[in-house]
């Protein structure tokens, strides 16, 4: 078994459609491209990535619960569940002290008012908004920074 650290990168509903969904908002990069860039960013810090997208809140919850003792940190783009779910931040709180970085590809603050609040953010160590898919690399980079002093 590898002793490299692993990061869990989670994507919520509709993010499987990246590349074709509202490209003027989310860009033309696919989720497969996002996975590749997250893996590349993690590899630069000798870390591995477990990558999951789900359109089902419960599946995301199960993945968060299973992360404890397996992954060193979590990157999560909860998609629209950011604005609706109490269960996701509860799950992230339950697996503390796992560090969490929340990502939004688009600048949600330039969009509809209902996107301005994320329930997940209260349980995130950092939130990266509006950096496009590069936000995932920034999130991995920040987790590597947070984990650097923790053995």
What residues make contact with ligand DHK under the rule CB under 6 A? 14, 77, 79-80, 82, 104-106, 108, 115
Instruction: Give kind and range of the element (H or E) at residue 61.
Output: helix 57-67
Shortest distance (Å) from residue 54 CB to ligand DHK: 13
Q: Between residues 92 and 105, which has the closer beta carbon with respect to ligand DHK?
A: 105
Q: Between residues 8 and 108, which has the closer beta carbon with respect to ligand DHK?
A: 108
CA distance 21 to 24: 9
Among the options 83, 104, 109, 117, which is catalytic?
Answer: 104
Shortest distance (Å) from residue 124 CB to ligand DHK: 14
Q: Between residues 39 and 83, which has the closer beta carbon with respect to ligand DHK?
A: 83
Q: Between residues 9 and 72, which has the closer beta carbon with respect to ligand DHK?
A: 9
Beta strands in 25-112 (DSSP E): 47-53, 73-77, 100-104
Burial 64-78 (b: 16+ CB within 10 A, else e): beebeeebbbbbbbb
| Residue 136 annotated among the catalytic residues of the structure | no
Shortest distance (Å) from residue 7 CB to ligand DHK: 18
27 backbone dihedrals φ, ψ, rounded to 5°: 85, -175
What is the DSSP pairing of strand 73-77 with strand 100-104?
parallel
Shortest distance (Å) from residue 45 CB to ligand DHK: 23
β-sheet bridge partners, residue 52: 10
Among the options 26, 71, 81, 136, which is catalytic?
Answer: 26
Query: Could you give the residue numbers annotated as active site?
Result: 26, 104
């Amino acid at each position: 078994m590898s002793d490299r650290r692993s990061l869990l990168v989670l994507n919520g509903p509709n993010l499987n459609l990246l590349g074709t969904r509202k490209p003027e908002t989310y860009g033309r990069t696919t989720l497969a491209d996002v996975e590749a860039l997250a893996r590349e960013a993690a590899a630069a810090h000798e870390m591995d990535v477990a990558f999951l997208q789900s359109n089902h809140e419960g599946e995301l919850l199960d993945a968060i619960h299973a992360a404890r003792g397996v992954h060193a940190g979590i990157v999560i783009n909860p998609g629209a569940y950011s604005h609706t779910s109490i269960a996701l931040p509860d799950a992230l709180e339950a697996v503390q002290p796992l560090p969490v970085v929340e990502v939004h590809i688009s600048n949600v603050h330039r969009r509809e008012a209902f996107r301005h609040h994320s329930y997940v953010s209260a349980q995130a160590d950092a939130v990266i908004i509006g950096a496009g898919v590069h936000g995932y690399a920034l999130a991995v980079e920040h987790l590597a920074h947070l984990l650097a002093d923790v053995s």
